[in-house]
Structure 1
Amino acid sequence: MQKFILLTLLLAVNTLLYSQNELTGKVQNSETGEPVFSASVYFPELEKGSMTDEEGNFTITDLPNGSYKLVVSSIGFASYTTEVTLPSQAISIDVVPSAIEMEEVIVSTPFHQLQSENVMKVERENISELNRKGAVTLSDGITQIAGVESLTTGLGIGKPVIRGLSSNRVLVYTQGIRLENQQYGDEHGLGINSKGIGSVEVIKGPASLLYGSDAIGGVMYLNPEPYASPNTTNFELEGDVFGNTNGYQGSLMAKTSGDRFKFLARGSYAAHSDYETGDGERVTNTRFNEEDLKAGIGFQQTNYKGDLRYNFNRSEIGIPEEIGPNSLEKDPLEPYQLIDNHVLSLDNRIYLNNSSFDLKLGYQFNNRQEFEDHHHEDEHDEHDEHEEEHGEHEEEHGEHEEGHEEGEAASLEMHLETFNYNLKYNLPKIGNFETIAGIQGMYQTNENFGEEILIPDARTVDYGIFATTHYHLEKWDFQGGLRFDNRKLDTQAYLTEDGSQVDEVNRNFNSFNGAFGAKFHVDQKFIARLNLATGFRAPNLSELTSDGTHHGTNRYEIGNPDLDNEQNFQVDLAVEWRNRHIEAFVNVFNNAVNDYIFLNPTGESIDGDPVFNYVQEDANLYGGEVGFHLHPHPLDWLHLESSFETVTGKLDNGGYLPLIPANSLTNTFRVEFDKGSILTNKYAFIRLRNVFDQDNPGQFETATPGYALLGAGIGTQVALNGSTLNLRINGNNLLNKSYISHLSRLKPDGIQNIGRNFIFSVSWSL
């Protein structure tokens, strides 16, 4: 490892020794020969590009020697890729008109290709698109992606569920590094604000080959917003108002780029009151507020690119327990969480002749505090009629209607520090082979400072070595790889609430994993993908060492220090077909998980709470997604989209797995009009989401009836003398439906999800 880092540093010092190249060319319409204005011409591997002028011409400077993939994309045209060997003469590129939406480069897979060229199916959505469809938070927005749901505790706490797997079985990546924030807990959210996130990519299925432990269920990869184009400066002011929660959100961004250096900064703040259900009741203590700061400094020259990013997020989130008196206050009541999350990352890329190094370094500090009921003072009720109706209730539960006292000590406080490194070497191409080899690792410590201990003080050290290769033919692409991982986990002994001791745990977990995929395509109209992959997950600290009452679930949990790795094997088949009028897809999977870890009741109770211990048994998850997108030519402004998703999870003993989302069908009708003298990029949509009965609950769950939610939105863009004003209005659950999601952690208490919600949004860009 030290030799790799030393070599990287030496190469960084000597980057000026390599040649600088310039690529010029022209992009034109293949049918008419007319120049294409404002087309993006981009080298994904180099992260350098340009836009075409009114004559279709472009120039990209400071390029190293070697062969690199060039991607050309423009609205109204099919994305185009070609291989360019530098130095090169001027090139001419013909792009084909198409009603198919413009493709983007996928970052979460190793070879940075367009989705249509990827061997592995990856879902990608721009955050701006999710927001304009009515997303309240990031965890709420990802549920619009087929096969992805969210495990929630109110609106402020949510985490991704990919094809029935969640928590430590789904990895979240941000700023190019794995996010570590005590994600094992059901009541732990993402701790990331959607402002300042450019796009989200989702790998559905085991991705341990690329990401190591915990990617057994998939990966949610968050791409930060890009810097400004060279020699430009941009400002943006955004604001959102949420009708249901009486909430608001504001964000201010500034970024500037020169020929070499780039800078970006964004600050955001959000505050929400308790949400209101379809029955008109506000769910006490679902309020939350959030402060977020994102900043970045980039540097790029011919053979080196560096990107330093920092994100600070402070979330103050109420933990709901029951419905009490209605209130529009925004300061959480006790119990509540106060979470500070710092993420610092440095991405270094060094380009050689036909090869490159990529070194990512990351540091994270997560401070999680929980405050319980200690001090009480009355809080104003918002409605006189509710005071009369709930007078006795308020007297009985007055302790809930108060804010925390300043300086009060947290009953639970954990500090989680994590250092990540990821070094990859992109080997020179040999014929049609592209190959990447690398090493990844993590050093992590957890320390307790509160009187309550959920998981012990611990140290985790892991590393993984992997190699993957891609082989390209005219109609076929193949990709495969192997990986070895080791995780060493050491914990300290601690005393439980009743004074008994939980012994220290010293474990080593090892795993070999592999993946193989094949893609067949015909003129990008028909694409078939078959992927076989294994993955693994080492047991987390909670599963190994718990011994106490989990207050959020009212059960006494006992860990098992002898648990083995979870190991899985998934088969995934995806078929796509498209022409100028329609796109259709079918994606099916089978995911066999050996030694699946779950809680099992013992039949005993401690202090009135039922006792559960962690056990293992083989499990199987299967299902898929199917859908289509109709955009009839020449009515390219008209879009009809439909998708259906299903997943079933079962243990080998015949029981069903918990927290498996119900089958759902989503239909969206939208219209888009790009042109206009004053109002441009106009759109409107109406969406109906049908969630079916979940009649296969886990052994601690009950069946959940289905429901249908109606949503709609409208928006436009206004040009104002060099600046742009974006306006949009969205409505979710327009019929004010009373319903409970199967993935809501408030379901056991009979607490409904959010009712009708209108969101008014405005952004001004300069």
Structure 2
Amino acid sequence: MKFILSVLLFLAIPTIYAQNTLKGQLTDSQTSEPIGYVNVYLPQLEKGTYTDENGFFELKNMPSGNYKIVYSIIGYETQSQTVSIPVETVLSIKLMPTAIEMEAVIISTPFHKLQSENVMKVEHETVADLQRNGATTLAQGITSIPGVESITTGASIGKPVIRGLSSNRVLVYTQGVRLENQQFGSEHGLGISDTGIESVEVIKGPASLLYGSDALGGVLYLNPEKFAQQNTATGDVNGTYFSNTQGYKAGAGYKSSGEKFKMLFRGSLTEHADYNTENYRVTNTRFREQDFKAGLGYQSTQFKTEFRYNVNNSKLGIPEEIGVQNTEKAPLLPYQEITNHVFSSKSTVFFDNSSLEINLGYIYNDRREFEDEHHHHEDEEHEHEHEHEHDDHADEDHDEEESHDEHNEEDLHPALQMKLKTFNYDVKYHLPTLGKFETIVGVQGMHQTNTNYGEELLIPNATVNDFGVLATSHIHFDKVDVQLGARYDNRKISVENGIDRDFNSFNGAIGFKTDITKNITARLNLATGFRAPNLAELTSDGVHHGSNRYEIGNSELDNEQNFQTDLALEYKSEHLELFVNGFYNVVNDYIYLSPNGTVIDGAAAYDYVQNDAKLYGGEIGFHLHPHPLDWLHFESSFETVTGKQNNGLYLPLIPANSINNTIRVEYDTNWFQNGYAFVKLQSTFKQSNVGYFETPTDGYNLLSAGLGGTIQVFKNDLTISVSGNNLTDKSYINHLSRLKNDGIFNIGRNFIIGLNYSI
């Protein structure tokens, strides 16, 4: 409370600011010709513009202080510099031509640097690139990032896996706040649409220093789309068709920014039928998703703020066995209906050489599950079945489905309904730069309540309170950059049945980045992380229908605590990039399910127990764009992870080793801009190192291809993309598919056609 009062008093102090203007010109370093349409962006201020045809830019109403400016455009090396505002002269910036892709500013780490300047290795991918590769959902799209996979239940439900760690060990951030949507459930996905998401960042390893509990294994950070550039307005409509599921996604968006105020709106509707394999459709993998995002922002010389809202409603079929064979899109029983509301505000107060950042979030999650035994019109069902009895089995299945669909809204009551309400806060003070030191101190916290309304009780009513305090510094030496920090966290869990637990943890991290030679960069990061046991692990006492297990919680579980060493080497020249990443992760008191040899309510009983574990592996790859064929790209990456308990048993849900090889071309013509085409072969190896109750899976190869680009239609841009996945219609089972125990294949051949028209 004293801290909050101090902050309020601090904000109340009147400060006088000058109305500063920043001007500059960008030119080619080799020809000295001006470069037009360069993106000029200040990540700390979230403010930017484009250069005009003569390479000039101008930004008004700039606060005093030291700020990083990033200059980026296709065909030139991304460059950054720190300027001290006010600047009396016009900046002169020279960009170096290159065939290497543009670098992005990393938002998930606190100092907002380019990846080449970052001490911690962070993976960054734009959602547009993930979609061009044919991703059906966001959970599927992130699997193209080395070291990242997804535990799936059909096509709609996916949970991120980072280097073998998943569930509550991976923290998800959206709109700048931590996403809390009952992710402890195994039959529960992200609950976030890729609509309105600009890019994805992945921290592979303990990030508890920055984010607290549940970041033991890493962070999936979703960056929302930026507001329009100052004094501009843009809009677009888009649509995508998926041949395999006869599905579609349609959406539209608009955004506008003035001198101080800005706004954006975006909505989408997605529907898919059951996905198809070579021999059958996988019954009840159908789903429907509605998503709406909105944002309002204000920016003045000394203050900026933005408010964002996202509502996502999904109806997701839960597959159990192969049955009904049709292309209807309304889910059958059992199915989930999940509504997720995310409110967030992000504000910054700028002082002469420092700033105060305040992020607030409120997440309201309503999860309902419907099952057969909770149908309240059984007599009507029997009458319906007799009236429409047919000899043909497919027709019987179809009538059964129509009966279910007919009663979904009016006649069904949820077997399970839980509402999770979460308020979280994140306050950071960026201290004035002292010589070589950039330093941030802050507090973070969360208040969460879980309440049951359905007939079944999966997770009891409970309250969770988090509080954490942290400090981190980035130190710039002549040849080495160092980042270090420490943090303390406390989590209190109070359960209605009388369980009250306190969990505490100190964590720290230190990292080093140095250029061994002009072309070789090395990064070494050492970090600890922790995770408090979740409500399911502490309190479960019942049959989990999704996995057909009777799960028994353990109220005496301790924190999971880990220590990871991560080494990354990169070689980068004008036409070749190489990377080698290795990690060794020791996890003390790893929590997992173990069968106890009994059967309860017809299901095998499993206890939540703990044992020390270790995970190790890494990623290796290269990117070649040979001279003079800068438009031709060869990319290859290999990833591996092994997870074992100290008793010698393998950990469950560890992804199989895989290799991805891609040939890609990029080109422009007079009428076709930003053109591309690619062919990709994904080779996944056999996974025999399985957990105690897992089954092994065979290896397989998947072939994909695609092309696209932008044309002018009525003086506006129309972007077209066409791609095909699993072109050979291979029948395969991914090791992280929760349908593998029933021998159900993953999705077959799928062609995707996408259109986006800018207005």
CA distance in 2, matches of 1:114, 1:523: 19
CA distance in 2, matches of 1:404, 1:528: 57
Q: Is the CA contact (8 Å cut-off) linking 1:378 and 1:399 kept in structure 2?
A: no
Q: How does 1:676-687 map to 2 (within 5 A)?
A: 676-687=669-680
Report what 1:252 is aligned to. 252
CA shift, 1:87, in A, is: 1.0
CA distance in 2, matches of 1:407, 1:725: 45
Report what 1:24 is aligned to. 23
Q: Kindly tell me: are residues 601 and 399 of structure 1, through their superposed partners in 2, closer, same or farther at Cα, counting changes over 3 Å?
A: farther
Q: Is the CA contact (8 Å cut-off) linking 2:326 and 2:398 kept in structure 1?
A: no
Letter in 2 for 1:553: S
Pairs aligned (count): 749
Q: Kindly tell me: are residues 244 and 397 of structure 1, through their superposed partners in 2, closer, same or farther at Cα, counting changes over 3 Å?
A: closer
CA distance in 2, matches of 1:9, 1:193: 39
**2:629 is the counterpart of 1:647:** no
- Once the two structures are overlaid, the 10-residue window that deviates more, 21-30 or 738-747, is 21-30
Q: How does 1:586-601 map to 2 (within 5 A)?
A: 586-601=580-595
CA shift, 1:722, in A, is: 3.6
Q: Is the CA contact (8 Å cut-off) linking 1:334 and 1:403 kept in structure 2?
A: no
Report what 1:76 is aligned to. 75
Q: How does 1:243-642 map to 2 (within 5 A)?
A: 243-279=243-279, 281-373=280-372, 374=375, 377=381, 388=392, 404-493=408-497, 504-521=498-515, 525-642=519-636
CA shift, 1:634, in A, is: 2.2
Letter in 2 for 1:44: P
Deviation string 1:135-169 (CA, Å, 9 cap, x unpaired) is 10000100010000011000110111000111100
Q: Kindly tell me: are residues 524 and 212 of structure 1, through their superposed partners in 2, closer, same or farther at Cα, counting changes over 3 Å?
A: farther
CA shift, 1:735, in A, is: 0.2
CA shift, 1:391, in A, is: 6.9
CA shift, 1:173, in A, is: 0.1
CA shift, 1:396, in A, is: 9.9
CA shift, 1:476, in A, is: 1.0
CA distance in 2, matches of 1:245, 1:729: 16
Deviation string 1:343-372 (CA, Å, 9 cap, x unpaired) is 000000111111000000000100000011
CA RMSD of aligned residues (A): 2.0
Q: Is the CA contact (8 Å cut-off) linking 2:516 and 2:522 kept in structure 1?
A: no
Q: Is the CA contact (8 Å cut-off) linking 1:12 and 1:304 kept in structure 2?
A: no
Q: Is the CA contact (8 Å cut-off) linking 1:325 and 1:387 kept in structure 2?
A: no
Q: How does 1:732-747 map to 2 (within 5 A)?
A: 732-747=725-740
Deviation string 1:695-736 (CA, Å, 9 cap, x unpaired) is 101101111000000000011101234411011111000000
**2:703 is the counterpart of 1:710:** yes
CA shift, 1:474, in A, is: 3.0
Q: Is the CA contact (8 Å cut-off) linking 1:327 and 1:380 kept in structure 2?
A: no
Report what 2:216 is aligned to. 216
Report what 1:144 is aligned to. 144
CA shift, 1:633, in A, is: 2.3
CA shift, 1:615, in A, is: 0.5
CA distance in 2, matches of 1:404, 1:48: 47
CA distance in 2, matches of 1:318, 1:404: 12
Report what 1:43 is aligned to. 42
CA distance in 1, matches of 2:128, 2:397: 43
Report what 2:135 is aligned to. 135
Report what 2:117 is aligned to. 117
- Where structure 1 has 5 or more consecutive residues not aligned to the other structure, the ranges are 494-503
CA distance in 1, matches of 2:400, 2:273: 22
Deviation string 1:590-642 (CA, Å, 9 cap, x unpaired) is 01000000011111111221111110000000000000000112211101100
Deviation string 1:94-131 (CA, Å, 9 cap, x unpaired) is 11111111101000001000000000000000000100
CA shift, 1:405, in A, is: 4.5
CA distance in 2, matches of 1:393, 1:295: 41
CA shift, 1:2, in A, is: 5.0
CA shift, 1:41, in A, is: 2.0
**2:666 is the counterpart of 1:672:** yes
Q: Is the CA contact (8 Å cut-off) linking 2:509 and 2:528 kept in structure 1?
A: yes
CA distance in 2, matches of 1:429, 1:24: 23
CA distance in 2, matches of 1:524, 1:6: 47
Deviation string 1:669-688 (CA, Å, 9 cap, x unpaired) is 01011x32211111110100
CA distance in 2, matches of 1:414, 1:705: 38
Q: Kindly tell me: are residues 507 and 102 of structure 1, through their superposed partners in 2, closer, same or farther at Cα, counting changes over 3 Å?
A: same
Q: Kindly tell me: are residues 3 and 619 of structure 1, through their superposed partners in 2, closer, same or farther at Cα, counting changes over 3 Å?
A: closer
Letter in 1 for 2:150: S
CA distance in 2, matches of 1:652, 1:57: 61
Q: Kindly tell me: are residues 671 and 76 of structure 1, through their superposed partners in 2, closer, same or farther at Cα, counting changes over 3 Å?
A: same
CA distance in 1, matches of 2:538, 2:496: 12
Letter in 2 for 1:296: G
Letter in 2 for 1:707: Y
CA distance in 2, matches of 1:668, 1:226: 30
CA shift, 1:3, in A, is: 3.9
CA shift, 1:11, in A, is: 2.6
Letter in 1 for 2:681: L
CA distance in 2, matches of 1:115, 1:256: 29
Q: Secondary structure at the match of 2:636?
A: strand
Q: Kindly tell me: are residues 478 and 549 of structure 1, through their superposed partners in 2, closer, same or farther at Cα, counting changes over 3 Å?
A: same
CA shift, 1:64, in A, is: 1.2
CA distance in 2, matches of 1:282, 1:238: 28
Q: Is the CA contact (8 Å cut-off) linking 2:22 and 2:58 kept in structure 1?
A: yes
Deviation string 1:574-598 (CA, Å, 9 cap, x unpaired) is 0000111110000000010000000
CA distance in 1, matches of 2:522, 2:647: 34
Identity between Structure 1 and Structure 2 (%)? 58
Q: Secondary structure at the match of 1:165?
A: coil
- Where structure 2 has 5 or more consecutive residues not aligned to the other structure, the ranges are none
Letter in 1 for 2:267: G
Report what 1:52 is aligned to. 51
Q: Secondary structure at the match of 2:538?
A: helix
- Once the two structures are overlaid, the 10-residue window that deviates more, 675-684 or 737-746, is 675-684
Report what 1:87 is aligned to. 86
Q: Is the CA contact (8 Å cut-off) linking 1:163 and 1:204 kept in structure 2?
A: yes
Q: Kindly tell me: are residues 219 and 532 of structure 1, through their superposed partners in 2, closer, same or farther at Cα, counting changes over 3 Å?
A: same
Q: Secondary structure at the match of 1:237?
A: strand
- Once the two structures are overlaid, the 10-residue window that deviates more, 293-302 or 469-478, is 469-478
Letter in 2 for 1:762: L
**2:653 is the counterpart of 1:659:** yes
